[in-house]
């Protein structure tokens, strides 16, 4: 499903096309090779787009951006006038806030006709990019850019970043960052080590950002560099390869035991602040009875395998889906108001390790909770079914609009919790949960 979204950022550089044809040698020069004049060595930072804002040109002016349409035709994107229209790909100024576009600001890219298209960075001279791959920090240098996604890829289509000799599928990254509700770009960086088999020793075309199908986005600040700033949520974890989360999260047939539940989070974990609370299968779901602490709930987890936690990839659902479930709250003590109820997700997020000198020493993972989303029960009638719907994107969006790059692809449980405070004032209250699933966001035509 395609959905109009706001903005996001990625770590790529070009957009080459995948329409079943072989790209023409006029811009596809492979991974280098030894023919022709020796390649010139670059600086340790090369800014393919956005260099006028840096004040440090270096080798940057040797490179230009081009579009490549579905027929393989290449068109230059002029730095002073980024408007192009060739075949199934167009570019123009991106200025959603109306602040006035300037050269080196974001370029708006629209790919149509379902045939794919690309943006590539190219020079007339062969270059040796080895100096950009020698950083002592995380990943031995990075590819970095800022992207504003406007639509998501078609369901069976992919998005790639390609450097000579290596093409990296970043569809899940693009989808993970496509749910922002604000017009902000997000800087993302991908380590050189993610591009297995790459050869940057002699090339005219060092970077491509490739879409297999229709896609609309904006791109700015396209850079390759040896310096890597691994802290923050924008350092892409290319090691994750989890199974895509199905729409079904937790389901229970009428009269079944909890052990018969289906869905990717079919294992129920009693939330730790139970203090005498209990839960059991009831009707077609599970009912929690509150004990001595009103802050209690149920966690629905991906079942462990060989005593190891398992994780799911929620990236496709971030911009395209809502989390939906049925909630029934009953037996609220007469002297008490209905407490708050909330939801959060939990997964593991990459944690880069450094020694006292600041040198990268390896990766670890830490358990990370998403923001907690409150359920609106302002008009709720006790004992009735409330169909709860929460945007999946809300669990991964920061207040400034930036989206998590890695956590959506490594989630293993969902908590649904009452927030009634300590003490036994809500003892005996029940919370019934059933039919937890992802449902598609409505399209603009619905």
The Cα 214–Cα 154 span in angstroms is: 7
Q: Where are the beta strands (DSSP E) in 176-214?
A: 186-191, 207-211
What is the residue whose two structure tokens read 């280098």?
Answer: 32
Residue 45 confidence (pLDDT)? 84
Helices (H) and strands (E) in the chain — how many of each? 2, 27
Residue 443 confidence (pLDDT)? 53
The Cα 235–Cα 190 span in angstroms is: 6
Structure-block tokens of residue 269: 């974990």
The Cα 302–Cα 250 span in angstroms is: 10
Same domain membership, residue 278 and residue 181:
no
Same domain membership, residue 256 and residue 183:
no
Q: What total number of domains does the chain contain?
A: 2
Structure-block tokens of residue 396: 């991964």
The Cα 269–Cα 297 span in angstroms is: 9
Torsion angles phi and psi, residue 407, rounded to 5: -55, -40
Same domain membership, residue 201 and residue 64:
yes
237 CA to centre of own chain: 11
User: 354, 348, 313: which is closest to 139 by C-alpha?
Assistant: 354
Could you tell me if residue 16 is inside a domain? Answer: no
Could you tell me if residue 234 is inside a domain? Answer: no
Could you tell me if residue 23 is inside a domain? Answer: no
Could you tell me if residue 271 is inside a domain? Answer: yes
Could you tell me if residue 13 is inside a domain? Answer: no
Residue 135 confidence (pLDDT)? 67
Same domain membership, residue 375 and residue 305:
yes
Partners of 436 in the β-ladder: 250
H or E stretch including 320?
Answer: helix 315-320
CA atoms within 13 A on the CB side of 323: 25
Q: What is the CATH number of the domain that holds 50?
A: 2.60.120.430
Same domain membership, residue 409 and residue 321:
yes
Same domain membership, residue 330 and residue 434:
yes
Residue 395 confidence (pLDDT)? 97
Out of 159, 191, 225, a domain closes at 225
Same domain membership, residue 113 and residue 203:
yes
Same domain membership, residue 96 and residue 64:
yes
Same domain membership, residue 252 and residue 214:
no
H or E stretch including 173?
Answer: helix 171-176
Could you tell me if residue 188 is inside a domain? Answer: yes
Residue 136 confidence (pLDDT)? 57
Could you tell me if residue 149 is inside a domain? Answer: yes
443, burial (CB in 10 Å: exposed 0-12, middle 13-18, buried 19+): exposed
Residue 3 contacts residue 155 (beta carbons within 8 Å)? no
Structure-block tokens of residue 271: 């939330």
439, burial (CB in 10 Å: exposed 0-12, middle 13-18, buried 19+): middle
Q: What is the CATH number of the domain that holds 303?
A: 2.60.120.260
Could you tell me if residue 33 is inside a domain? Answer: no
Q: Is the pTM of this model over 0.85?
A: yes
Same domain membership, residue 201 and residue 279:
no
Residues spanned by the domain of 393:
248-440
Same domain membership, residue 350 and residue 279:
yes
Same domain membership, residue 400 and residue 287:
yes
3-state secondary structure 273-296: CCCCCEEEEECCEEEEECCCECCC
* pLDDT tens series, the chain, 446 aa: 444 444 444 444 344 433 333 344 344 454 444 445 668 888 888 888 875 544 444 566 788 999 999 999 999 999 889 999 999 999 999 999 899 998 888 999 999 999 999 999 999 989 999 888 876 565 578 898 899 999 999 888 999 999 999 999 999 999 999 999 887 888 888 988 899 999 999 999 999 999 999 999 999 988 898 876 555 556 889 999 999 999 999 999 999 999 999 999 999 987 656 678 899 999 999 999 998 888 889 999 999 998 889 999 999 999 999 999 999 999 999 888 999 999 999 999 988 777 787 666 777 889 999 999 999 999 999 999 999 999 999 999 999 999 999 999 999 999 999 988 777 889 999 999 999 999 998 654 44
User: 41, 53, 59: which is closest to 131 by C-alpha?
Assistant: 41
The Cα 157–Cα 18 span in angstroms is: 10
């Amino acid at each position: 499903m395609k959905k109009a979204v706001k903005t996001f950022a990625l770590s790529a550089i070009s957009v080459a096309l995948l329409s079943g044809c072989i790209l023409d040698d006029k811009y596809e020069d492979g991974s280098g090779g030894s023919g022709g004049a020796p390649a010139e060595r670059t600086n340790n930072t090369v800014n393919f787009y956005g260099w006028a804002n840096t004040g440090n040109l270096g080798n940057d002016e040797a490179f230009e951006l081009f579009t490549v349409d579905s027929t393989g035709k290449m068109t230059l994107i002029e730095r002073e006038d980024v408007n192009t229209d060739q075949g199934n790909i167009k570019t123009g100024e991106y200025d959603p806030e109306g602040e006035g576009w300037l050269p080196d600001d974001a370029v708006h890219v629209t790919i149509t006709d379902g045939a794919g298209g690309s943006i590539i960075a190219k020079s007339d001279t062969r270059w040796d990019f080895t100096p950009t791959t020698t950083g002592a920090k995380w990943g031995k240098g990075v590819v970095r850019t800022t992207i504003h996604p406007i639509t998501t890829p078609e369901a069976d289509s992919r998005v790639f970043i390609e450097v000579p000799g290596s093409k990296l599928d970043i569809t899940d990254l693009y989808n993970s960052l496509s749910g922002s509700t604000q017009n902000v770009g997000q800087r993302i960086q991908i380590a050189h080590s993610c591009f297995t088999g790459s050869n940057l020793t002699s090339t005219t075309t060092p970077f491509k950002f490739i879409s297999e199908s229709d896609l609309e986005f904006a791109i700015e600040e396209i850079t390759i560099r040896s310096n890597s700033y691994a802290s923050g949520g924008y350092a892409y974890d290319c090691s994750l390869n989890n199974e895509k989360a199905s729409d079904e999260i937790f389901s229970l047939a009428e009269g079944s035991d909890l052990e018969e539940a289906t869905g990717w989070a079919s294992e129920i974990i009693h939330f730790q602040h139970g203090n005498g609370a209990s839960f059991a299968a009831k009707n077609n779901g599970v009912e929690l009875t509150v004990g001595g602490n009103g802050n209690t709930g149920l966690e629905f987890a991906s079942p462990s395998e060989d005593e190891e936690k398992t994780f799911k990839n929620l990236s496709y659902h971030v911009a395209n889906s809502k989390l939906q479930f049925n909630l029934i709250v009953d037996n609220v003590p007469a002297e008490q108001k209905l407490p708050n109820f909330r939801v959060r997700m939990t997964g593991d997020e990459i944690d880069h390790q450094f020694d006292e000198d600041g040198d990268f020493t390896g990766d670890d993972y830490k358990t990370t909770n998403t923001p907690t989303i409150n359920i609106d029960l302002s008009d709720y009638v006790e004992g009735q079914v409330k169909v709860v719907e929460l945007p999946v994107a809300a669990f991964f969006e920061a207040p400034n609009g930036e989206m998590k790059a890695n956590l959506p692809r490594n989630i293993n449980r969902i908590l649904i919790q009452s927030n009634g405070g300590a003490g036994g004032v809500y003892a005996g209250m029940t919370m019934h949960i059933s039919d937890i699933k992802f449902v598609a966001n409505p399209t603009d035509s619905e």
